Structure 1
Amino acid sequence: MSQPAYFVIDVKIHNPDAIKPYQEQVAATYKPFGGERIVAGGVAESIEGAPPLGRIVILRFPSLELAHAWHDSPAYQAILGHRLAAAESHAYFVEGIA
């Protein structure tokens, strides 16, 4: 049994209009890889260390391999530039526990 993997991103949007194409299309890119959004920018309460830059989003994938396949896919790469141009972000893959 493979271990789940998580894409965790902390995003501070500087240009809401410029990021709209990314926001409108991103779900269609991760769903074919078994990805599902489990956190989508709710209240983030900092209890230790620096607070998040902005909104926290977490996607869960069936495996780290599928998470990488999604991120490297032509569909995701085609929209990634919109986020990179419109926001500051810190993103991570984290392997979970089966």
Structure 2
Amino acid sequence: MTAYVLGQLHGRPPLHDEVLTYMERIQATMDPFGGRFIVHGETPDVREGTWEGDLVLLEFPDIGKARAWYDSPAYQEIKHLRADHIPGTIMMVDGCGAGHDSAAMAAGIRAAQQGR
């Protein structure tokens, strides 16, 4: 199942030379794990709630590959180039799959709540 790495980059600091080096090198760290950018540094159009900063969204074939990429020596070597200059929150999540049916999911939850 496809998995995603979501980064919420807080604030808008100037792009330090080390951040630019990080940007130049990150794709090569993702390639062995099938990773690709879906969103890169966009400011979301927030309709409910709050959001500070920009959004980065990466896609990987599965959560295992996403975790392996993040923990890889190649990524760990460059991570500080971003993290030292741009604070943020990074998280990983499984996607729901192409055939996801929200109504069927709700029906299953209702049945479980009613002890069926």
TM-score (ref. length: structure 1):
0.88
Supply the distance in 1 between the matched residues of 2:21 and 2:2 (Cα, whole angstroms): 28
Q: In 2, Cα distance between the equivalents of 1:86 and 1:43? A: 18
User: Larger Rg: 1 or 2?
Assistant: 2
Name the residue aligned to 2:62.
Answer: 63
What is the Cα deviation at residue 10 of structure 1? 1.1
Please report how far the alpha carbon of residue 42 of structure 1 lies from its aligned counterpart in structure 2 after TM superposition. 2.9
**Matches of 1:43 and 1:90, distance apart in 2:** 15
Of Structure 1 and Structure 2, the greater strand share is in 1
CA RMSD of aligned residues (A): 1.3
Q: Check whether the contact 1:8–1:58 (CA below 8 A) recurs between aligned residues.
A: yes
Between the aligned partners of 1:15 and 1:85, the Cα distance in structure 2 is: 12
Shift of 1:49: 1.1
8 Å CA contact 1:8–1:92 kept in 2: the answer is yes
TM-score (normalised: structure 2) = 0.76
Unpaired runs of at least 5, structure 1: none
User: What's the secondary structure of 1:9's corresponding residue?
Assistant: strand
Q: Percent identity?
A: 35
SS in 1 for 2:44: coil
For structure 2, the 5+ residue unaligned runs are 98-116
Partner of 2:40: 40
Displacement, 1:41?
A: 2.3
State the aligned residue count: 95
- Higher alpha-carbon deviation: 59-68 or 34-43: 34-43
Which aligned pairs between 1:15-94 and structure 2 lie closer than 5 A? 15-17=14-16, 18-51=18-51, 53-94=52-93
